[in-house]
Amino acid sequence: MIYTGECFCGGVKYRIEGPLRRPRICHCSRCRKAFSAQGNAYAEVDPDRFSWTQGEHLLVSYPADGTPGKRFCRVCGSTLCGVVGGRVHGVTLGTLDQDQGITLEAHIFMGSKPAWDDIGEDTPRFEEYPPNW
């Protein structure tokens, strides 16, 4: 499977040559603040099968000290990926150019979900991080 994605302004693009793992939506308070939304739709990737195809020079990392965080476009602000140890850990599903049959496996950190976040589907839900992930 090949996936491509890009930021809102199109300045940064990426390619994944492999599967997306553990697609989920995280409802923790940190994700709500980082994405200004009800949560973060995210899937893990194999870092060796991920590549930036355009605009890598436009990326900013937060936090900048190399701890787990995120990378976003300095022009439009789109968060494109999560990083761990300086390597891409996963991508935000909203930046993909196609969905190719992606099905959510879980809603996580439901214990942090605000009352206004009404989820009307049957995807498994976990109060915190699911066991054995």
pTM: 0.85
Query: Is residue 78, in this structure, part of any structural domain at all?
Result: yes
Given this model, what pLDDT does residue 9 score? 97
| pLDDT given at position 52 | 98
**Residue 74 domain-assigned (yes or no):** yes
**Is 47 part of any domain?**
yes
The tally of domains found in the chain comes to 1
Q: What is the CATH number of the domain that holds 80?
A: 2.170.150.70
Structure confidence at residue 128 (pLDDT)? 86
The pLDDT, as a whole number, for residue 90 is 96
Q: Is 7 helix (H, G, I), strand (E, B) or coil?
A: coil
Answer positive or negative: Cα dihedral of 55, 57, 62, 65.
positive
Instruction: Assess if residue 118 is contained within a domain.
Output: no
Tell me, yes or no, whether 59 lies in a domain. yes
**Nearest of 67, 72, 64 to residue 84 by alpha carbon:** 67
Contact partners, residue 44, CB within 8 Å, separation at least 6: 20, 21, 22, 89, 90
Residue 42 lies in domain: 2-112
Query: Each residue's pLDDT tens digit in the chain (133 positions)?
Result: 899 999 999 999 999 999 999 999 999 888 888 888 888 999 999 999 999 999 999 999 998 777 788 999 999 999 999 999 889 999 999 999 987 789 999 999 999 888 888 887 778 888 888 888 7
With respect to residue 10, please indicate whether it lies within any of the assigned structural domains: yes
Q: How many CB atoms lie within 10 A of CB 51?
A: 13
One-letter amino acid at 82 equals G
